């Protein structure tokens, strides 16, 4: 349906609802298009290369529409035009901010990339709401970021609903940079896998179901990957008393999931070790959590989700790096068999732990996983966990807190986060905090700090440090970034899957540097 310029202007601006009714029949049959414009001084707007080419193909009608339709589009804002091109019944134009944006030291990210993600996401969602089934996307000068914005922005967890949002396929428009576009799609699909796992109800994603899902996702990658699902009997052989103490209250069997990705087969390159907390539901155990918002604890396996999704993504990208992933999976539930406050358990390295709060369980399962991980002689260890509410209090959703004993490792993680826009922020590992967890009445360590409400994220990190001998180790506390309300504009409300893309980018840079 191709309208004349005079008829289009009359219908769109005098009666928008009529225009929608006229166009709806073709919206479902044809494609939508997302194009970008940069913000200039005053009310001027600068079309991207793809937008300028499209504008030329319709004799400048897009430029004229933008001038008469209102003020210049600001960053992240969008506007839809109908019937201006025969192949695209609706065209969403999105604001990219200023073309001079780049890496911002104050924000610790690349503003240009973030602007593209934000804008493209807004345009794709708008067209999804119009039930357009296929969208072509302007690269906006950064095809990878555009793909990430499109794929992340369109994700919506409705697997268990009868009425689902329309499925939308996307492809690059007006550019030959398909390699970067496909890379962005893969990065975003990795984060969406983590979101899918984190969002699913705990009765659907049990430890066993989680492990089976990851095994299925890695199956297409053949000899490069191997998956081992360790049983409770193996954990007992390994003397993982800390991990096993958390599992006692649940009827669901625990699983210790071990993933191997060989991106450098036949080489002697030491692996990157990723360790993720995998509590598929955290009731708090005997130290029961308040019922309000307890449902969100289905995502307490966010560390395991991001670690496993990162390895799936690394395999899809064929990154030239060896990665081992370890995720202890279990539920933390109250029962007559559950660990009681004041109980003392023994970790794999022989250290005894006084469990004064059974809701501080993540550090217990990670302690044994970290001990075991050292047998692989890793190049670096990165563990990821929704570990403490204190981390949310400290940083909110702005960044993942990083505790590390290695300046080299910190620099690599920080550099990766600038690229992805999924930021990290370094936190202290002072001896001050170590003294608080080693001051225990009954055992070598206490699983909560001496002053439990003070510096909780820091004392949790200090606890984990007692189980690490590697000189390159980082603990990522992702409790603050676990979910999204409206803080990250290109993610819908719900579980965020952060910082999957940062982990993938870190592994990619590590592989290419080696």
Q: Where are the beta strands (DSSP E) in 386-455?
A: 400-404, 424-426, 445-446
Between CA 94 and CA 249 the distance in angstroms is: 52
Q: Which residue has the tokens 């991106």?
A: 263
User: Which residue, among 356, 385, 358, has the nearest Cα to 370 in the 3D structure?
Assistant: 385
Catalytic, out of 31, 363, 423, 498: 363
> What is the CB neighbour count within 10 angstroms for residue 438?
17
Between CA 351 and CA 445 the distance in angstroms is: 8
Catalytic, out of 289, 415, 426, 450: 289
Between CA 256 and CA 236 the distance in angstroms is: 11
User: Which residue, among 173, 101, 100, has the nearest Cα to 143 in the 3D structure?
Assistant: 173
Handedness of CA 83, 85, 90, 91 (dihedral sign): negative
Q: Where are the beta strands (DSSP E) in 40-148?
A: 45-47, 78-82, 90-98, 103-104, 109-110, 134-138
Question: Under 8 Å CB-to-CB from 502, ≥6 apart: which residues?
Answer: 400, 413, 416, 417, 420, 422, 424
Q: Where are the beta strands (DSSP E) in 197-291?
A: 225-230, 255-262, 272-276, 278-282
Task: Name the strand (E) or helix (H) holding 475.
Answer: strand 473-477
Query: Is 24 a residue of the active site?
Result: no
Query: Is 412 a residue of the active site?
Result: no
- Residues assigned a catalytic role: 289, 363
């Amino acid at each position: 349906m191709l309208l004349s310029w005079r008829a289009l202007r009359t219908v769109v601006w005098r009666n928008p609802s009529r225009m929608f009714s006229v166009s709806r029949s073709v919206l479902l049959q044809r494609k939508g298009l997302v194009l970008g414009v940069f913000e200039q001084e005053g009310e001027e707007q600068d079309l991207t290369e793809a937008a300028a080419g499209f504008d030329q193909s319709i004799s400048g009608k897009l430029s004229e529409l933008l001038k008469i339709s209102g003020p210049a589009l600001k960053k992240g804002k969008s506007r839809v035009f109908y019937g201006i091109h025969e192949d695209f019944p609706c065209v969403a134009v999105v604001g990219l901010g200023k073309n001079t944006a780049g890496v911002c030291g104050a924000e610790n990210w690349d503003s240009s990339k973030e602007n593209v993600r934000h804008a493209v996401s807004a345009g794709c969602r708008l067209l999804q709401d119009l039930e357009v089934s296929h969208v072509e996307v302007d690269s906006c000068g950064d095809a990878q970021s555009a793909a990430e914005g499109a794929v992340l922005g369109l994700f919506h967890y409705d697997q268990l609903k009868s009425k689902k949002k329309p499925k939308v396929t996307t492809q690059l428009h007006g550019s030959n940079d398909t390699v970067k576009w496909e890379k962005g799609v893969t990065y975003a699909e990795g984060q969406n896998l983590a979101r899918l796992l984190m969002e699913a109800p705990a009765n659907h994603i049990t430890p066993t179901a989680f492990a089976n899902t990851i095994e299925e996702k890695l199956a297409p990658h053949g000899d490069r990957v191997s998956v081992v699902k360790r049983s409770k009997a193996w954990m007992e052989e390994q003397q993982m008393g800390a991990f096993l103490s958390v599992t006692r209250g649940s009827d669901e069997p625990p699983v210790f999931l071990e993933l191997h990705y060989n991106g450098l087969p036949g080489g002697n390159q030491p692996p990157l070790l990723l360790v993720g907390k995998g509590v598929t539901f955290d009731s708090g155990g005997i130290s029961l959590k308040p019922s309000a918002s307890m449902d969100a604890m289905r995502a307490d396996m966010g560390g395991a989700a991001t670690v496993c999704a990162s390895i799936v993504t690394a395999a899809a990208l064929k990154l030239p790096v060896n990665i081992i992933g370890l995720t202890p999976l279990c539920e933390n539930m109250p029962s007559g068999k559950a660990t009681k406050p004041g109980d003392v358990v023994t970790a794999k390295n022989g250290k005894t732990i006084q469990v004064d709060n059974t809701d501080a369980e993540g550090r217990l399962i990670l302690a044994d996983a970290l001990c075991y991980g050292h047998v692989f002689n890793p190049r670096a260890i990165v563990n990821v966990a929704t570990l403490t509410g204190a981390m949310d209090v400290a940083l909110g959703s702005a960044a993942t807190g990083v505790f590390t004993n290695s300046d080299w490792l910190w620099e690599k993680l920080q550099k990766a986060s600038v690229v992805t826009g999924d930021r990290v922020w370094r936190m202290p590992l002072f001896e001050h905090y170590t003294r608080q967890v080693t001051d225990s009445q009954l055992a070598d360590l206490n699983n909560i700090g001496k002053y439990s409400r003070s510096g909780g994220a820091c004392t949790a990190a200090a606890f984990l440090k007692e189980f690490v001998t590697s000189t390159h180790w980082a603990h990522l506390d992702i409790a603050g970034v676990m979910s999204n309300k409206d803080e990250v504009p290109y993610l819908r409300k719900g579980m965020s899957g952060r910082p999957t893309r940062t982990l993938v980018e870190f592994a990619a840079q590590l592989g290419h540097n080696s």
